[in-house]
Amino acid sequence: MTNLIQNSGNNNNPFISVVVPVYNEQEVLPEFLDRTSRVLEAREIDYEIIFVNDGSTDNSLELLNRFREKDPRIAILDLSRNFGKEIALTAGLDYSRGDAVIIIDADLQDPPELIPEFISAWQEGFDVVYGKRKKRQGETVLKRLTAYLFYRILQRASNVHIPEDTGDFRLMSRRAVDALCKLREQHRFMKGLFAWIGFPQRCILYKREPRYAGRSKWNYWHLWNHAIEGITSFSIAPLKIATYIGLITAFFSFSYGSYIIIRTIIRGCDVPGYPSLIVIMLFLGGVELTALGIIGEYLGRVFDETKRRPLYLIDQYLPSRTANGQ
């Protein structure tokens, strides 16, 4: 791609950082490390794998320490508690040192075997190379449907182009990572932040596999909150919708009130309707509470931002011992 500005870093002999958020993944970590290491070693590049332990309560951290004793290319970033995946990703990016950084989950739904294709696209000049799911195996119909609807709704509501059916699995150049690390907002919807920074991007289609082992930490309640986080972080459409609903409700209320007054004057009939009055009151109360709830979501985010707390705290950082990582 000769028309693309070449990104910074040594593309001929690159040093690659792989960021892996970990939360109770003891069942999959050995297989993940084996497959990822084989892929990177076959490429004959220098690399480090940064495991971000996000407050795991199983034996994940113990396993990671064992891995690091045997492999100097492994780094461990142990957070002081569970901060959530978005913050864990941020911490891993903050501590990455590679010319390019690859983000991948440990559950092996995103295949490490796609990494060489990511690197090749980066060496062509793309700053962000992301995987787009053309097929999602091992997931229920309801989960696939809600994911499909969420990405389309978010795309319509946001003024930033956020690719559909795309997760966190991607490669970012050093300048893209540095730009992303400047964004320190508390409520972090990383898929939106990846898109917000811009730079030349390329999509690579792949088939998402079922989890290798263990259970997903994302239940429907977590997914619902994640969807709200995404919409409120990158759109004020809910506030506009609440305004429009209020205006429409007020118009119909005024019209119905005028109708009742005119009918009473002309026909002289009494104003009927204790039941209808209750229904209208409950409807209007529901509309008002919904609008207040939407305003509260945004106000809560403003409140969190004003406290200026650090995004995360580190209990222990064990860097990789590779030559390029020192």
Q: Tokens 């407050």 belong to which residue?
A: 55
The pLDDT of 237-249, averaged and rounded, is 75
pLDDT at 3 over 50: no
Worst-scoring range by mean pLDDT, 21-25, 277-281, 284-288? Answer: 277-281
pLDDT value at residue 93 = 92
Q: Tokens 């794998």 belong to which residue?
A: 49
| DSSP class per residue in 108-166 | SSS-GGGHHHHHHHHHTT-SEEEEEEEEETT--HHHHHHHHHHHHHHHHH-SS---TTE
The pLDDT of 261-283, averaged and rounded, is 66
**Residues 6+ away with beta carbon under 8 Å from 251:** none
pLDDT in tens, 57-108: 888 888 898 888 888 888 999 998 888 888 888 899 989 888 899 998 888 8
Chain centre distance of CA 9: 26
* pTM, rounded to two decimals: 0.70
Count of all residues that appear for the chain in the document: 326
State which of 238-242, 281-285, 292-296 shows the largest mean pLDDT.
292-296
How distant, in Å, are the alpha carbons of 163, 220, 238, 245 from that of 252?
39, 36, 21, 11
pLDDT in tens, 97-153: 888 999 988 888 888 888 888 888 888 888 888 888 776 665 666 666 766 676 667
pLDDT value at residue 133 = 79
Asked if residue 284 lies in contact with residue 246, where contact means CB atoms within 8 angstroms, the answer is no
- Could you tell me the pLDDT band of residue 6, with boundaries at 50, 70 and 90? very low
